[in-house]
Amino acid sequence: MTVFSLQWKMGHAGAADLVFGRGTASIEVRTTYIGDGLGSMVQAAVDLQRGSRSAVAHLPAEPSGTCLFYGGASSEVYMQIVQFADMQSVAARWSGGKLRWHGRVDTREYLRTVAFMAEEVLDQCGGAEAYAKAWGGIPFPMSELEALRQGLSA
C-alpha cells in the first residue's frame, strides 16, 4: 500500500489548508473558521475506529466546502475528497461536486495519521486555547483526539 500523509497548515487567523499526499498525488483543501473542519475529520476517524463502515468529514470554506467521504471500512476504507462550489445555499448545496481524489487507504494507518496531524496542530498552535483563538473561538477537538488515541493504544 502506498504511503500517505496529512498536514493541517494553519494560515492567517481563521483559515487553514489540509494537504493530503498519496504517492505522487498531493491535494490541498482550503477551510475556514465558519466550521470545525479539524474536529469533523477527527470525529470521522473516531467513528471509523469504533466500527462504523462509513463516515463524512466537512471542511467549510465560505461559500464553498469540501467533503471527505469514507465508505466500506474494514481493514481498508474507500475515501473520496469532493469539493463543492456552494455549501451554504439550500438550492445548490450538493450540486456540481468536483472529485479531487479517490482511493483505498489502510484504515488503521489513516487513523494514526489523523491523530498525528491533530497532535501537530495542537503543538504548532501552542495549546488548545491558542488554537481556539486562531480558529474564531471553535475549540480544539481534544475529547475526540483523546478517544482516537485510546483506541489506537488498545
Kindly report the CATH number assigned to the domain that includes residue 120: 3.30.2450.20
Domain assignment present for 64:
yes
Host H or E run for residue 114: helix 107-125
Domain assignment present for 147:
no
Question: Bigger pLDDT: 71 or 2?
Answer: 71
Residue 93 is predicted with a pLDDT of 77
Domain assignment present for 154:
no
Residue 19 is predicted with a pLDDT of 96
Q: How confident is the model at residue 67 (pLDDT cuts 50, 70, 90)?
A: very high
Domain assignment present for 149:
no
Domain assignment present for 127:
yes
In the sheet with 76-84, reading across from the earlier edge strand, the strands are 55-61, 64-71, 76-84, 98-106
Domain assignment present for 60:
yes
Domain that holds residue 47: 4-140
Average pLDDT, the chain: 92
Question: Bigger pLDDT: 3 or 79?
Answer: 79
